[in-house]
Amino acid sequence: MLDTSKAAQLVLDDGSVFPGISFGADKSVSGEVVFNTGMTGYPESFTDPSYRGQILVLTYPLIGNYGVPGIDKEHNLLKFFESDKVHIRALIISDYSNNHNHWNSRKSLAAWLQEHNIPALHGIDTRSLTQKLREKGVMLGKLVNGTDVRLEDPNKRNLVDEVSIERKQIYEAGKKRVLLIDCGVKYSIIRNLLARNVTVIRVPWDYDYSRERYDGIVISNGPGDPKMCKATIENVRQSIKEKIPILGICLGNQILALAAGANTYKLKYGHRSQNQPCIDLETGRCYITSQNHGYAVDTKSLGKDWKPWFVNANDNTNEGMRHKRLPFMSCQFHPEAYPGPVDTNFIFDRFLRMVK
Amino acid sequence: MAKNKQKPKINKPKKVLILGSGALKIGEAGEFDYSGSQCLKALKEEGIKTVLVNPNIATIQTSEGMADTVYFLPVTPYFVEKIIKKERPDAILLGFGGQTALNCGLELDAQGILKKYNVKVLGTSIKAIRLTEDRKLFSEFLKSIDVKTPKSRTATNIEQASQVAQKLGYPIMVRSGFALGGLGSGVARNQEGLKLLAAKALAYSKQILVEEYLHGWKEIEYEVVRDSKDNCITVCNMENFDPMGIHTGESIVVAPSQTLTNHEYHKLRQISIHVIRSLGIVGECNIQFAFDPHSEDYRVIEVNARLSRSSALASKATGYPLAFIAAKLALGYSLSELDNSITKKTKACFEPALDYVVLKIPRWDMQKFREVDTKIGSEMKSVGEVMAIGRKFEEVLQKALRMLSIGVEGLACNALQFDDLEHELENPTDRRIFAIAQAFKEGMPVDAIYALSRIDKWFLYKIKHIVDMEHNLKMYSLSKELLLKAKQLGFSDNQIALLKGKSELEIRQQRKQLGVMPFVRQIDTLGAEYPASTNYLYMTYNSGQHDALPLKQKAAIVLGSGAYRIGSSVEFDWCCVNAVLTLQQLGYKTIMINYNPETVSTDYDICDKLYFEELSLERVLDIYEYEQPSGVIVSMGGQIPNNIALKLHNQNVKIFGTSPVNIDRAEDRHKFSQLMDTLHIEQPAWKEVTTVEDAKRFAETVGYPLLVRPSYVLSGSAMSVVFEEKRLIEYIKKAADISREHPVVITKFIENAKEIEIDAVANKGALAAYAITEHIENAGVHSGDATLVLPAQRLYAETARKILDYSSKIAQSLQITGPFNMQFLAIDNDVKIIECNLRASRSFPFVSKVMKRNFIDIATKTMLGKPIPPFKNGKLSYVGVKAPQFSFTRLKGADPVLGVEMSSTGEVGCLGKDLNEAFLKAILAVGFRLPKKTVLLSTGPLKTKLHLLEACTHFKELGFTLLATEGTHKFLKEHRIPATRVYWPLDKKQPNVMQFLESGSVDLVINIPKSSEKIELDNDYIIRRMAIDRNIPLLTNEQITRQFAHALATVKPEQLEIKSWQEY
């Protein structure tokens, strides 16, 4: 019976230690420790490039239940994932399901994490850990699996550069052409555009797109501090001048804000969940949204030509903005979902209506 | 945002009528007390006047301080119209009283009554309700919005049904429209089976549905909330452990879903929202899916456009107050205008994130019924449920199984035997979960168990973990690591003790020494993202720190009543909640421990701290030691807390009120009997036996009939009356299985006696309040099934005096402080005591409400040593009648006769100016329909025939056509009462009783059981069962039949007074 699995631990910057059992790759890593309260969708979450550099704590205790799907492709994109890589630095959970079951699963979560060289711990009191992060804010931490490592702040690196595409790629799907600035794009954003018969020109985060032919711009989600994306901000500032329709998503919302002269700041512990209520200030309607961000746009800093579009019903932070006259819009949440509710999918339609 | 803080403006109604669900029955139970109570709170906050119609007198919602006006009258269009005419409400709510309220509302609308009196339906419109209720319209509507439903056709007769089945292919599912809890539905595997099912279903509903049978598909539910501004959220999704084919009320259910991927979860969520928006639901509703385990194919099974059992469960599982919010939305608020009542910081417009897992298991009481079919399937048979909270599936499964209090220790350490394991896995009964564990023990592989049960392998693996741990505990010495792991998988100290050959308390001691302790965790709706301001708690070993600080102050724990089951239901919840309210008035902080999701006591706004936890010695001690309160109240939650009173006392737990040592003196037959002897109070002769010889010897001394039962039980579980030696021997042999620890008690069964009860409160041994009620039925009918009258109408003054005298003596000698209940037999003025419970009883809410004196309030004050007002037993100018609600229609095959075993599932209490008026209201309130034309009589042995002669004369004079079986016919003829002779079912001669029953031409069946020949017993059984299956009113008791005939002859139904409780 006796457990052959290996004891390992999570050590936080404040010195607190959470002992657990290792079930992923056999290595030690450091990162920023963040929590997500979603109850389903781990294959999607772990491949979301916005998690770059982060040690992810899942508050829902039972993980791994339905295994991990295969690497089927559609439009030359992995069908069941949000990128080609597992981006989380490490995974921290309470109860790992040693035995999974699902018709579409091809391997266990443990096997998949090991394959991608991602360490993971189970048997952690994730509720206590989350409470600590809630009270003290996100903090650095390390998963120590044998050899110790130094704490490193991933936000000091240009994480976007690490996850963005290396060279331009085109996905043909129709006459309308959208330029997608890949700051760490989730495949579902591309899928949503393709499903609406839009050709997607996916370019690196710092790509000079002045010579490209396109009808609108989407600035994608991505990891880290938006202020690191100086080149993107500069390019977008130019596009604003050219009055090209722009949609910003998540990090894209922040980049658009910065390009428009507004400011961004770091949240205490961010929004990472699938149940964030956002109120559309134009209609009063409330939407349940999927979110993954640690920084936010400072609403007060918005210029007079801009107005907030959505606001978070729980903490009143900015969840999106619009230009009062011109075709620029953005949202802080993920209208493409995956994981999470797809209620705000209409954002893509709204945007595409503005695109010529 | 300042904008959000303003009170939104809505057009509020001034006076709202709320329909309750009536008596608790299978398929419609305590969950509607929870939803109705929350609704009343929500309206009260708005300053809206409320009028409630609900004859269920034992509910919280019908208590003082809830609705402004309460009518203890039947929830039927007839009575509700009269109430509307009198009260003139401007709006009505139909969604808080289950199917009863919904059906009544639809009928009120169809008859034009709502329009006539200009009563607006709040929340979901009648049109939308109709769409969800009519299966054909529903399925066509979903088709029109591109949503899949099971392939099906409706049928209005057997022939048509059979044609449809042919087309779709067997096996096939039959469902009836407009029915709660899947009544009249089932799976037919061939034409013969289909004909049987269809005939039965058509008896309840004009239209049935024949549909594809989705064997082995997953069953998933979503609870959806939508406001009038079209905001729409899913508060919770739930997955059935048992696949399709088993009614969700009969399934083990887990929340959130465990086996769905993100894509699947959100696909179904999206369809839910699409359907609910298209239907135009405003408020709360439930949608059920069948989901293919091998693809993403789905079918929408049904939508309940009202609060339901599932929504009560979802509320407790997530902490999201669905009923409260639904009421606010019905008034016109939008979701984003309402607060999250757990965090008080965030909004109601969100979807809870759980950081724990919740499991519900139904509680069945099949062994209470003779002849009942124990298979579980598409019809509801369970009478209650439990919910466990934890952080591992294994943990919640074991916790929940213990909570059922059916004598199992969890999944492991049970000694259940299965004759045919494979059959048990494939054909589920209430014991299937144990069969799975047994199969693993016998080495059956997961795949084989899956092939038979179709239960998702993920669940099966988890069960295997428990079985493996049981093995490990047996094999290895108890290290701290092993102990912790076992506790994390939900093993109780007692389970470990059994495996280690130690006592529970030894393991507890060892565990504490090793520092293996549970932690207190909080339900906060947001996975710890925001702090919670309420104390909705559970305990787990899968944690490392506590969420809530101990109270350590003037505080009291109230132990709840656990799962609703036959003999213990909403009435004990009423007692618990009222005790909490009094404690709060007395300045105590209150802690409630209970695990029944259908209750008001488990609403987190009732007490200062709610522990949704086991009522076991282990867990109560854990909580007591952590919280260090002033003491514990054990006398409100029925027998479960009573059973651990002495054990708690022995662990130095302070018990408020009567000393547990004296509780034990009343519970222990020997001690109690000795006491009665010294007090010179007579009891029927009795003896404890463990052998057949002892039993025979006793029988020879006192003579038959005898009452036999195991000791230490509530509601007469496995009790029986035996008239002859053969049956006595059979019983003793069978009883040995039921309880090895306790011997069988044989008591002389006294026939033709009246039964009288006293519900009372004593203070340091002196009577402080009391109510004497009489049963209409003679002794021999379980007190829970009896019809009670208060004040007693036919009691001799001397009998009453003796009962009061005996009660005073017993209270004095047991030094009772708190509630108690005693039952007596009386023949003339010869009074014997038969039962004494030093706790609140089933009838406390009834007597409290009839007398308008809250006995629980008085009892709680005495237990806390607080002053109580003097008690005056003034004369009442009206009469209260409590009548039982039976659910025999639900229990295929069960013989619907009354006996010493309790079989009713609920009750009503009605008030009237006299006994006849109150009686008629009460039986109408439990669904009895008054006969219009034809009455079928089989009046039993000669003695009852004579006793019922007057009743038969009344029936004749009322102009009914009388049909009578052989003996009754002859007897009536001799007494010049014209009747048509009908042959017995087994006579196979015409005119046969069966043909009258089948054609629906009989309005009332009176069948008094005889205790003679087998064939006559069979004939009687067939008639009774047919009456039940054909939904024909049935009377089987002589005294009730007489009372009924007398009431009908004296009171015209249209003269029944429409008076609110407050007007009496």
Nearest residue on chain B to A69, alpha-carbon basis: B261
pLDDT at B1029: 87
pLDDT at B335: 94
B555-559/B631-633 β-pairing: parallel
Selected residue of A102, A269, A334, A336 to mutate for chain B interface (largest B Cβ count, 10 A)? A102
Give the closest-approach CA distance of B500 to chain A in angstroms. Answer: 18
**In B364-425, at which residue ranges do the beta strands (DSSP E only) sit?**
384-390
In a domain, A121, yes or no: yes
Nearest residue on chain A to B230, alpha-carbon basis: A285
Give the closest-approach CA distance of B871 to chain A in angstroms. Answer: 52
pLDDT at B4: 43
- Three-state secondary structure along B459-522? HHHHHHHHHHHHHHHHHCCCCHHHHHHHHHCCCCHHHHHHHHCCCHHHHHHHHHHCCCCCEEEE
Q: Using the beta-carbon criterion (under 8 Å), do A134 and B530 form an inter-chain contact?
A: yes
Extents of the domains making up chain B: 2-124, 131-136+215-305+308-352, 151-212, 359-516, 520-656, 657-683+751-771+795-841+850-874, 685-748, 928-1055
Range of the domain at A300: 159-354
Whether A201 contacts A168, CB under 8 Å: yes
A139-144/A54-58 β-pairing: unpaired
* Mean pLDDT of the residues in chain A: 96
* Mean pLDDT of the residues in chain B: 93
Which among A87, A122, A323, A334 is annotated as catalytic? A334
pLDDT at B655: 98
pLDDT tens, position by position, B115-144: 999 999 999 999 999 999 987 899 899 999
Query: pLDDT band at residue B66, thresholds of 50, 70 and 90?
Result: very high
CB-facing half-sphere around the CA of B560: CA atoms within 13 A: 32
Q: Does residue B535 surpass a pLDDT of 90?
A: yes
In a domain, A131, yes or no: yes
B857 membership: H or E segment, kind and range: helix B855-863
A336 labelled catalytic: yes
**Based on the domain organization, do A150 and A166 belong to the same domain?**
no
Third-level CATH fold of B685-748? Dna Ligase; domain 1 (3.30.1490)
Examine domains B657-683+751-771+795-841+850-874 and B685-748 and report if their fold is the same.
no
Give the closest-approach CA distance of B629 to chain A in angstroms. Answer: 26
Q: Using the beta-carbon criterion (under 8 Å), do B528 and A337 form an inter-chain contact?
A: no
Q: Using the beta-carbon criterion (under 8 Å), do B353 and A274 form an inter-chain contact?
A: yes
Query: pLDDT band at residue B196, thresholds of 50, 70 and 90?
Result: confident
> What is the average per-residue pLDDT within B395-410?
95
* Domain count across chain A: 2
In a domain, A67, yes or no: yes
pLDDT at B181: 52
**Cβ atoms within 10 Å, residue B789:** 23
Query: pLDDT band at residue B525, thresholds of 50, 70 and 90?
Result: very high
Query: pLDDT band at residue B3, thresholds of 50, 70 and 90?
Result: very low
Third-level CATH fold of B657-683+751-771+795-841+850-874? D-amino Acid Aminotransferase; Chain A, domain 1 (3.30.470)
Give the closest-approach CA distance of B401 to chain A in angstroms. Answer: 20
Q: How far is CA B16 from CA B83, B788, B948, B1059, in A?
A: 12, 32, 45, 17
In a domain, A1, yes or no: no
Which among A183, A229, A250, A278 is annotated as catalytic? A250
Q: Does residue B612 surpass a pLDDT of 80?
A: yes
Q: Using the beta-carbon criterion (under 8 Å), do A274 and B258 form an inter-chain contact?
A: no
Q: Does residue B496 surpass a pLDDT of 90?
A: yes
pLDDT at B693: 87
pLDDT at B741: 60
DSSP state of B986: G
Nearest residue on chain B to A58, alpha-carbon basis: B355
pTM greater than 0.90: yes
Tell the CATH superfamily of the B151-212 domain.
ATP-grasp fold, A domain (3.30.1490.20)
pLDDT tens, position by position, B920-931: 999 999 999 999
pLDDT at B727: 86
Q: Using the beta-carbon criterion (under 8 Å), do B458 and A40 form an inter-chain contact?
A: no
Structure tokens at B45: 């906050």
Q: Does residue B179 surpass a pLDDT of 60?
A: no
pLDDT at B837: 95
Structure tokens at B944: 């009852």
pLDDT tens, position by position, B679-690: 999 999 999 888
pLDDT at B533: 84
Nearest residue on chain A to B543, alpha-carbon basis: A125
**Cβ atoms within 10 Å, residue B108:** 26
Cβ-Cβ contacts under 8 Å, B345 against chain A: 314
Residue where a domain stops, chosen among A156, A174, A204: A156
Q: Using the beta-carbon criterion (under 8 Å), do B350 and A276 form an inter-chain contact?
A: yes
For domain B359-516, which architecture applies? Orthogonal Bundle (1.10)
For domain B928-1055, which architecture applies? 3-Layer(aba) Sandwich (3.40)
Cβ-Cβ contacts under 8 Å, B238 against chain A: none
CA separation for the pair A223, A206 (Å, rounded): 15
Query: pLDDT band at residue B208, thresholds of 50, 70 and 90?
Result: confident
Q: Does residue B589 surpass a pLDDT of 90?
A: yes
CA separation for the pair B149, B143 (Å, rounded): 8
Low-confidence stretches of chain A (pLDDT beneath 70): 1-5
pLDDT tens, position by position, B672-717: 999 999 999 999 999 988 888 889 999 999 999 999 887 655 434 5
Give the closest-approach CA distance of B259 to chain A in angstroms. Answer: 6
Q: Using the beta-carbon criterion (under 8 Å), do A101 and B335 form an inter-chain contact?
A: no
Give the closest-approach CA distance of B121 to chain A in angstroms. Answer: 24
Is the ipTM above a cut-off of 0.85?
Answer: yes
Q: Does residue B893 surpass a pLDDT of 50?
A: yes
Cβ-Cβ contacts under 8 Å, A342 against chain B: 266, 270
pLDDT at B1008: 93
Q: Using the beta-carbon criterion (under 8 Å), do A130 and B1 form an inter-chain contact?
A: no
Residue where a domain stops, chosen among A156, A181, A207: A156
pLDDT at B743: 77
> What is the average per-residue pLDDT within B377-405?
95
Query: pLDDT band at residue B763, thresholds of 50, 70 and 90?
Result: very high
- Owner of token pair 């089932």: B186
Cis peptide before A339 (omega within 30 of 0): yes
Structure tokens at A208: 């000079």
pLDDT tens, position by position, B624-639: 999 999 999 999 999 9
Q: Which of B365, B401, B284, B444 is nearest to B894 (CA)?
A: B365
Look up the CATH number of the domain holding residue A348. 3.40.50.880
Q: How far is CA A118 from CA A7, A27, A69, B127, in A?
A: 16, 8, 17, 55
pLDDT at B729: 87
Q: Does residue B313 surpass a pLDDT of 90?
A: yes
Q: Using the beta-carbon criterion (under 8 Å), do A41 and B261 form an inter-chain contact?
A: yes
Look up the CATH number of the domain holding residue A17. 3.50.30.20
Judged by average pLDDT, the poorest of A346-350, B394-398, B459-463, B1000-1004 is B1000-1004
Nearest residue on chain B to A315, alpha-carbon basis: B346
Q: Which of B231, B346, B3, B228 is nearest to A285 (CA)?
A: B231
Q: Which CATH number does B520-656 carry?
A: 3.40.50.20
Third-level CATH fold of B131-136+215-305+308-352? D-amino Acid Aminotransferase; Chain A, domain 1 (3.30.470)
Cβ-Cβ contacts under 8 Å, B274 against chain A: none
**Based on the domain organization, do A87 and A143 belong to the same domain?**
yes
Query: pLDDT band at residue B369, thresholds of 50, 70 and 90?
Result: confident
Query: pLDDT band at residue B1, thresholds of 50, 70 and 90?
Result: very low
Q: Using the beta-carbon criterion (under 8 Å), do A101 and B270 form an inter-chain contact?
A: no
In a domain, A285, yes or no: yes
pLDDT tens, position by position, B777-820: 999 999 999 999 999 999 999 999 999 999 999 999 999 999 99
pLDDT at B712: 53
A250 labelled catalytic: yes
A293 labelled catalytic: no
Nearest CB partner across the interface for B529, out of A97, A102, A273: A273
In this structure, the dihedral spanned by the alpha carbons of residues A268, A273, A277 and A283, taken in order and rounded to 10 degrees, is 100
Cβ-Cβ contacts under 8 Å, A102 against chain B: 259, 261
pLDDT at B691: 83
CA end-to-end distance (rounded Å), chain B: 50
In a domain, A263, yes or no: yes
Which among A32, A44, A319, A336 is annotated as catalytic? A336
Q: Using the beta-carbon criterion (under 8 Å), do B261 and A104 form an inter-chain contact?
A: yes
